[in-house]
Amino acid sequence: MAAAEPDTHEALQGISLGDLDVLETAIGLRELGQEVSGLDGRTFALVKIATLIALDAPPASYAWQIANALEEGVTPEDLLGVLRAVAPQVGGPRVVAAAPEILLGLGLALPEGE
């Protein structure tokens, strides 16, 4: 087992849990990426969600990005639109895998049997 400083251990735990404050502090790339992109906050957030879908990203990634997107004024309808827009390029399985993560990120219930 490797020895880690307590701050490092806490930061890694926070990142693995999707803790928004830890992610923002530890990674801090959101604002820099948006500034360089030239996109407004809402568009930037939608692009990030589309990228998660395309990459078949892990579930914890969605919680953070959806929270950021909602802060930028993205609506649940916008997120459904992103799913529909990327489906032809990424394929049905990735869209189906992303939908429950988006539901959870929005604080909505999963379908029965999930």
Q: Residue 57, by phi and psi: left (phi above 0), alpha (psi -120 to 50) or beta? A: beta
5-39 pLDDT, tens digit per residue, is: 888 778 777 767 766 666 666 555 555 567 767 88
- DSSP assignment letter at 109: P
The number of CA neighbours under 13 Å toward the Cβ of 41 is 11
Read off the pTM: 0.73
- Rg over alpha carbons for the chain, rounded to the nearest Å, is 15
What CATH number is given for 9-105 in this structure? 1.20.1290
pLDDT digits (tens, 9 = 90+) for 47-59: 999 999 999 999 8
